[in-house]
Amino acid sequence: MNSPVLFEELDTADGRKVGLATLNSPQTLNGLSLDMCKLLAARLRQWEDNAQIAMVVLRGAGDRAFCAGGDLHGIYKGMQDNSSGQAWDNVYAREFFDVEYRLDYHIHTYSKPLLCWGNGIVMGGGVGLMMGASHRVVTTSTRFAMPEISIGLFPDVGGTWMLSRLPGGIGLFLALTGAQLGANDCKLLGLADYTLDAEGWDALLAAIQGSSWRGDRQQDDVALRNLLLGLQVDESGQTGPLQNHYQAIRQACDGADFNGICANIAAWQQSEDPWLKRAASTFLAGSPGSARLSFSLLRRVHLMSLAEVFRQEYIVSLQCGVQGDLQEGIRALLIDKDKQPKWSPAVLDEATDAWVQRFFVSPWPADLAHPLADLGRQASA
């Protein structure tokens, strides 16, 4: 049986090597499983400690997706197996989110250049892997989104940290609508750094292997940037739908008026623009509880450090397994596939600020520390 992640160490011109990690589940659009996270985490640590490895490249198998999200089937089974109904008793969720969030944080803080080839679908857990990479490549086929509102979750994997730092209103719009971004809009928002042709993987790898690397972080960062700039596609005169509607989205979705923002997004269902119309339709079909949760989280985490955000998201993710719509959302989308979720609360008016506070309560026993308490503190320990 093939490994869910393939690892190669490729020679370069000066004898140093490039570590290539390939998510290897194209039949699930490289959906990120617990095994994948464990394998990636272990190998990234090994490569970080290996002086012969000059840099790491991360990609997905096949040409349809880098990574379309996390292991929703495993999360669903974990919720079904949790007979007590208490968030801390979901053993699978405790481990999955711990391992995944640590992996994502390690990518953000990696000590060597790390290139992510964000070709095709980049959503949910795939965004978590990509956004911390030092060199984030999108392509002419990239479809980037955080569509968690459709399954009763929220933009986790550090997504709230990322979205809360976008210009006012933009991050909330993306969280509430699951709107898909192409390469141009990803670069406009600083969510990606370089655009290459979707057919350009072989040329990129050949250029990396044909180059000399010094093993010096700063010099290799600069050399890799120059290499990528030389391979970029010409985007002059091209704009994405978010850029075209940038000011309207900011005006409609910024500020503290949750109900007003929701009404503004819903009004776009009457838009003649298909991208805005789809965004409104996704919002209206999504979980009202997830909408309130995303709104509250983006405001809550705005001034937190990355490690603090992961700690906050860990609490909320565990609570989503028992408090909110996640089980129902996965059931409707992937298990029964009826696409008729029965959300609770069913309407936005019932998803109040008082209602959402339950998601921020630490679910573990009072005598235990936060499972991610050490995140970001290893260097100073």
Beta bridge partners of 60: 23
Mean pLDDT of all residues in the chain?
96
State the residue for tokens 């959906």: 31
Q: How many residues does the chain have?
A: 381
pTM of the model: 0.97
Distance CA 67, CA 30 (A): 5
Is the predicted pLDDT of residue 381 greater than 50, yes or no? no
Tokens describing residue 199: 């057919």
Distance CA 58, CA 305 (A): 25
How many CB atoms sit inside 10 A of residue 165's CB? 14
Distance CA 293, CA 320 (A): 10
Cα separations in angstroms, 372 against 41, 45, 103, 231, 310:
15, 18, 12, 39, 8
State the residue for tokens 């959402």: 356
Residue pair 179/245 in contact (Cβ under 8 Å)? The answer is no
pLDDT at 380: 43
82: left (phi over 0), alpha (psi -120 to 50) or beta: beta
| CA dihedral of 361, 363, 367, 369, whole degrees rounded to 10 | -80
Domain 5-360 has CATH 3.90.226.10: yes
Q: In what order do the strands lie in the sheet with 121-123?
A: 65-67, 121-123, 143-145
Decide the pairing of beta strands 194-196 and 135-139: parallel
Nearest to 359 by CA among 321, 327, 328: 321
Distance CA 115, CA 209 (A): 14
Is the predicted pLDDT of residue 132 greater than 90, yes or no? yes
pLDDT at 1: 57
160-179 confidence digits (pLDDT tens)? 999 999 999 999 999 999 99
3-state secondary structure of 365: coil
pLDDT at 55: 98
Distance CA 25, CA 349 (A): 41
Mean pLDDT of 238-267: 97
DSSP 120: B
284-298 confidence digits (pLDDT tens)? 999 999 999 999 999
Give the distance, in angstroms, between the CA of residue 134 and the centroid of all CA atoms in the same chain.
15
Decide the pairing of beta strands 65-67 and 135-139: unpaired
187-215 confidence digits (pLDDT tens)? 999 999 999 999 999 999 999 999 999 99
Is the predicted pLDDT of residue 379 greater than 60, yes or no? no
211-235 confidence digits (pLDDT tens)? 999 999 999 999 999 999 999 998 8
Mean pLDDT of 115-139: 98
Distance CA 39, CA 5 (A): 7
pLDDT at 377: 84
Nearest to 291 by CA among 186, 167, 191, 178: 178
Distance CA 34, CA 91 (A): 13
Is the bond preceding residue 345 a cis peptide, omega within 30 degrees? Answer: yes
Tokens describing residue 189: 């928002």
DSSP 88: G
DSSP 304: S
pLDDT at 87: 97
Instruction: Break the chain into its structural domains and give their ranges.
Output: 5-360
Mean pLDDT of 145-168: 98
pLDDT at 324: 80
Is the predicted pLDDT of residue 333 greater than 90, yes or no? yes
Distance CA 250, CA 188 (A): 14
- 195's enclosing H/E stretch is strand 194-196
Mean pLDDT of 56-76: 96
